[in-house]
């Protein structure tokens, strides 16, 4: 059926040092990418820490300026008035909270936790790159 002549082809062998060059270059590229990611995570960590300090100090000043602590003092001093108007007092207490400052504080804390998680993942990846 197959009347075509077959010719034996010589085995093609790559140069002996080519595999070492290719794996070395792949390893160097992975290390380079890892160092850039580590640098980016360090910058993000510094930025999120500085923003956390700013947002928490802003939250502290807004809490001091709001009537939240005065309402809490009223709740501790006049418990009979508090028990009579518990629903209204709870709503009034929630209205005095600085919601935007709390929101920005929680967002900055979440960003900090994400950056820490990214840094630990990169640290684990660094171990894998060095194993080779």
pLDDT digits (tens, 9 = 90+) for 52-72: 888 888 888 988 888 888 888
63, part of any domain: yes
95, part of any domain: yes
32, part of any domain: no
Backbone angles phi, psi at 25, to 5 degrees: -70, -40
9, part of any domain: no
CA angle 118–105–90, rounded 5-degree value: 135
Percent of the chain with pLDDT over 90: 5
- Whether the predicted model's global pTM rises above the 0.75 cut: no
125, part of any domain: yes
5, part of any domain: no
- Which pLDDT belongs to residue 11? 80
Cβ distance 52 to 109 under 8 Å? yes
Query: Domain residues for 60?
Result: 43-131
pLDDT band at 130 (very low <50, low <70, confident <90, very high): low
Domain count for the chain, please give it: 1
């Amino acid at each position: 059926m197959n009347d075509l002549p077959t010719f034996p082809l010589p085995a093609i062998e790559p140069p002996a040092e080519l595999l070492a060059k290719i794996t070395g270059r792949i390893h160097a590229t992975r290390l380079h990418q890892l160092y850039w990611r580590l640098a980016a995570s360090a910058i993000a960590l510094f930025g999120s820490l500085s923003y956390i300090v700013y947002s928490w100090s802003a939250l502290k000043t807004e809490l001091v300026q709001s009537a939240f602590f005065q309402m809490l003092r009223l709740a501790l001093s006049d418990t009979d008035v508090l028990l009579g108007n518990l629903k209204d007092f709870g709503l009034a207490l929630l209205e005095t909270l600085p919601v935007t400052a709390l929101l920005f504080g929680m967002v900055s804390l979440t960003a900090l936790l994400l950056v820490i998680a990214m840094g630990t993942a990169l640290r684990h990846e660094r171990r894998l790159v060095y194993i080779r």
